[in-house]
Amino acid sequence: MAYGDAKGYLPLREAIAEYLGAARAVRCEPSQILVTTGSQQGLQLSAQVLVDAQERVWIEEPGYPGARQALNMAGARLVPVPVDHEGLNVAEGIRRAPSAHAVYITPSHQYPLGVTMTATRRMLLLNWAARSGAWIIEDDYDSEYRLGGRPIASLQGLDTDARVIYVGTFSKVMFPALRLGYVVVPKDLLDAFSNARDAFDQFSSTLYQAVMTDFISEGHFARHIRRMRMLYVQRRRALVEAIHKRMGGKLEVIGAEAGMHLVALLPPGVSDVAISRRAAEIGISAMPLSSCYAKPPVRGGLILGYGGTDERQIQEGISKLAVSL
Ligand SMILES: Cc1ncc(COP(=O)(O)O)c(C=O)c1O
């Protein structure tokens, strides 16, 4: 019940290091792990420690609004870099801002489009970072739930120059209200991250950290992931089928191979903000895809999450959405 370590509860840091090594090919020692209150704090810490005001940072276009917020708060100048079917277009990033100070990226499962970054692009990005001394902030928020294909190893595991800050969370694999996440930090940045963590809010609740440690070490975590993976496959299938059946002509599904959300593209010219507002009025949460863009996209869409929605609710929700569209 006393004050805890700003870096986190040591048994949890040990459990996370072991899990990340086995599941995500992350190469780290427990001393490099800092427990946070979710990835949002990991992003905030990274922005605070790594980026000074007016420094350029590449962000994915479209990308995660939470990352944009954290980087904006540090005064970064954001450089949107387009994402295509191979992930972040590294060559375009180099063209737009060759000496950028950092890059924010979701290579395993791009948020929101769901693309997995190819090996070629990963090597290009790591080579650019090593050459230019840029930092890579890797947000690996939901890799546990790959639904098809082989798991993709982290960028951190491929990095031989200690350029990658790996940000992870228990929000997706467990639940968001837990507010537990972690950052894997290169050794020479450990003190700076730990001091910033201490200055922010000292440390995460020891009670939740201890419970999470037991949950992992007693084998419940691995079982939970296996069970939920099957459940999410069923929910994803139910959602995709319901969309095809009820709105096949109007919505085009993309990015449904992993995670707990997919994107349903709307026909060109239809406002996703208006549809999202109408959906909220009938009790459906559907984030507009355009909210992830710095510049308005050619085609809008809806980001549909299925993590906390059972198959019956999915069917009902899509039927209601079909009527309002
Ligand atoms: C890209 C991305 N990163 C991180 C998170 C999780 O954030 P947090 O761990 O702060 O709950 C989310 C949640 O939706 C996300 O989409």
CB of residue 259 inside a 6 A radius of ligand 1: no
Q: Do the bridges between strand 181-184 and strand 261-265 make them parallel or antiparallel, or are there none, so unpaired?
A: unpaired
- Cα distance between residue 242 and residue 76, in whole Å: 42
Mutate to test the pocket of ligand 1, among 106, 142, 208, 212 (most ligand atoms within 8 A of CB): 142
CB of residue 213 inside a 6 A radius of ligand 1: no
Q: For tokens 């201890």, what's the residue?
A: 210
- Cβ pair 176, 38 in contact under 8 A: yes
**Amino acid sitting at position 244:** H
What contacts 7, CB < 8 A, 6 or more positions away? 13, 31, 33, 34, 35, 190, 194, 197, 203
Rounded to two decimals, the pTM is 0.97
Q: How far lies 131's CA from each of 17, 60, 134, 163, 320, in Å? A: 28, 21, 8, 10, 52
**Amino acid sitting at position 316:** E
Compute, in angstroms, the gap from residue 171 CA to the centroid of ligand 1.
7
**pLDDT, tens digit, for every residue of 187-238?**
999 999 999 999 999 999 999 999 999 999 999 999 999 999 999 999 999 9
User: If phi over 0 gives left and psi between -120 and 50 gives alpha, with beta otherwise, what is residue 311?
Assistant: alpha
Q: Which residue's CA is the closest to the ligand 1 atom numbered 12?
A: 141
CB of residue 64 inside a 6 A radius of ligand 1: yes
Q: Which residue's CA is the closest to the ligand 1 atom numbered 2?
A: 141
In residues, how long is the chain?
325
CB of residue 108 inside a 6 A radius of ligand 1: no
102 burial via Cβ count (<10 Å: 0-12, 13-18, 19+): buried
> What pLDDT does residue 148 have?
65
- Residue stretches of the chain with pLDDT short of 70: 147-151
Collapsing DSSP to helix, strand or coil, 47 comes out as helix
> What pLDDT does residue 150 have?
67
Ligand 1 closest atom vs CA 176: 11
Backbone CA torsion sign across 18, 14, 220, 154: negative
Ligand 1 closest atom vs CA 181: 9
